[in-house]
């Protein structure tokens, strides 16, 4: 059986290690892949995602205890985004939980399969407290050779419709549909674009990979790796361990409290994160952009206001969409407001004037594309609202 990795090696993809898995980091120049995701369609192997099934009548009680979101609000063929917290209330990582008629699947791009299983097994020690009568069946889907591929970009819905029919166009955000080829098509995404993750056996994913390439040719579809996320996750910021972990895992500082359901039943880290939320955070994450010509911004560049050091750049990148450097910074809370001028960033090339900026940094093309009115290939329709 051909695996996705065989496809990548046969096509000379540059491989890298993510979440302890080897998947492509790039197929083409990163700017080509960036252009595809922002203007057309990008196809990516997302098999670095851990997939764990938790099946049984009491699976809900177990998963609800390890997730910061309220799992009770989702039903069959629905998913939810959530954080997983440490006992001290800091962020361990993030997960998607997909509900099925028999139980749930947990997917994570930054928490390993074994770590998820260990946390679930540890939570089972509280079975009586969680009212678990029947121990759920916990299984790594590696056993069944499962993987994930993702199609992302403003016209990914149109490519998907050619493969799976028009039902995919009406698929709501964070819901999935089961397909005849044994896959789950889950609509989700972190980068502000239309995005679909296809989850299931590798043999079906390999066939789909080739089919999407064939169908997507007229959409200028590109195959890609994961390195493009270094740019798009700055432009549309969410939890990403590589962005934040070296500086903070505090969800209050990182303004990730929207992903925590404080009024749900007990969950790992609840008492601690409640205390964090009641305390006044001394610093917070905010976007920063230069207000003058800038040669480069880098992580660890210091930020000053009126000659006083008030923060540090966490990460920075040149945004092709804005044709400017953009940065994420942790700064003192009294300065952590949007659209404030008068800051100075101390860089290796000299001081740069800057201001704070609300996030996300860009307005995605996907927001200007309506599947009922627009098309990339139908000449009788406009391509987008512009």
- The rounded distance, in Å, linking the Cα atoms of 267 and 72 is 13
Q: With a cut of 90, say whether residue 14 has pLDDT above it.
A: yes
Percent of the residues in the chain that have a pLDDT greater than 90, as a whole number: 97
Which H helix or E strand runs over 242? helix 241-244
What is this structure's pTM?
A: 0.96
Q: With a cut of 80, say whether residue 177 has pLDDT above it.
A: yes
Joined together, the tokens standing for residue 77 give 């063929």
- pLDDT of 23 reads 97
- CA distance to 51, 73, 116, 210, per residue, from 135 (Å): 19, 22, 16, 40
- The rounded distance, in Å, linking the Cα atoms of 174 and 349 is 44
- pLDDT of 245 reads 86
| Per-residue pLDDT tens over the stretch 103-154 | 999 999 999 999 999 999 999 999 999 999 999 999 999 999 999 999 999 9
What torsion do the CA atoms of 39, 44, 46, 48 make, to the nearest 10 degrees? -120
Q: Could you count the other beta carbons within 10 Å of the beta carbon of residue 29?
A: 9
| Per-residue pLDDT band at 302 (split at 50, 70, 90) | very high
Q: With a cut of 80, say whether residue 12 has pLDDT above it.
A: yes
- pLDDT of 249 reads 96
- pLDDT of 2 reads 81
What torsion do the CA atoms of 209, 215, 221, 226 make, to the nearest 10 degrees? -10
- The rounded distance, in Å, linking the Cα atoms of 368 and 385 is 5
Overall average pLDDT of the 81-93 stretch: 98
Write down all domains in the chain, each with its CATH number in brackets. Answer: 4-49+144-232 (3.30.1360.120), 248-357 (2.40.30.110)
């Amino acid at each position: 059986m051909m695996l996705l990795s065989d496809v990548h090696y046969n096509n000379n993809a540059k491989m890298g290690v993510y979440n302890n898995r080897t998947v492509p980091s790039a197929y083409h120049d990163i700017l080509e892949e960036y252009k595809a995701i922002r203007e057309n369609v990008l196809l990516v192997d997302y098999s670095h995602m851990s997939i764990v099934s938790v099946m049984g009548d009491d699976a809900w009680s177990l998963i609800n205890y390890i997730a910061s979101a309220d799992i009770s609000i989702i039903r069959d063929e629905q998913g939810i985004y959530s954080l997983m917290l440490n006992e001290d209330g800091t962020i361990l990582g993030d997960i998607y939980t997909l509900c099925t008629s028999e139980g749930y699947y947990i997917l994570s791009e930054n928490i390993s399969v074994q770590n998820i299983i260990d946390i679930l097994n540890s939570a089972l020690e509280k079975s009586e407290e969680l009212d678990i009568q029947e121990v759920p069946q916990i299984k790594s889907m590696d056993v069944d050779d499962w993987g994930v591929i993702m199609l992302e970009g403003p016209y990914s819905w149109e490519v998907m419709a050619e493969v799976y029919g028009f039902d995919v166009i009406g698929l709501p955000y964070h819901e999935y549909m089961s397909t005849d080829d044994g896959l789950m098509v889950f609509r989700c995404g972190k980068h502000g674009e239309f995005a679909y993750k296809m989850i299931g056996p590798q043999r079906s994913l390999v066939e789909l990979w080739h089919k999407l390439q064939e169908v997507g040719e007229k959409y200028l579809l590109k195959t890609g790796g994961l390195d493009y996320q270094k740019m798009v996750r700055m432009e549309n910021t969410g939890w990403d361990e590589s962005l934040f972990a070296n500086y903070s895992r505090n969800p209050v500082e990182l303004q990730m409290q929207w992903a925590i359901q404080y009024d749900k039943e007990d969950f790992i880290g609840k008492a601690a994160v409640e205390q964090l939320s009641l305390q006044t955070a001394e610093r917070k994450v905010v976007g920063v952009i230069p207000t003058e010509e800038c040669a480069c911004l880098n992580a660890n560049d210091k930020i000053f206001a009126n000659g006083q050091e008030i923060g540090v750049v966490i990460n920075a990148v040149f945004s092709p969409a804005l044709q400017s450097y953009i940065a994420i910074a942790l700064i003192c809370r009294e300065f952590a407001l949007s659209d404030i001028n008068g800051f100075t960033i101390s860089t290796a090339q000299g001081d740069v004037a800057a201001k704070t900026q609300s996030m996300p940094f860009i307005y995605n093309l996907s927001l200007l594309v309506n599947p009922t009115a627009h098309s990339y290939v139908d000449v009788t329709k406009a391509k987008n609202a512009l």
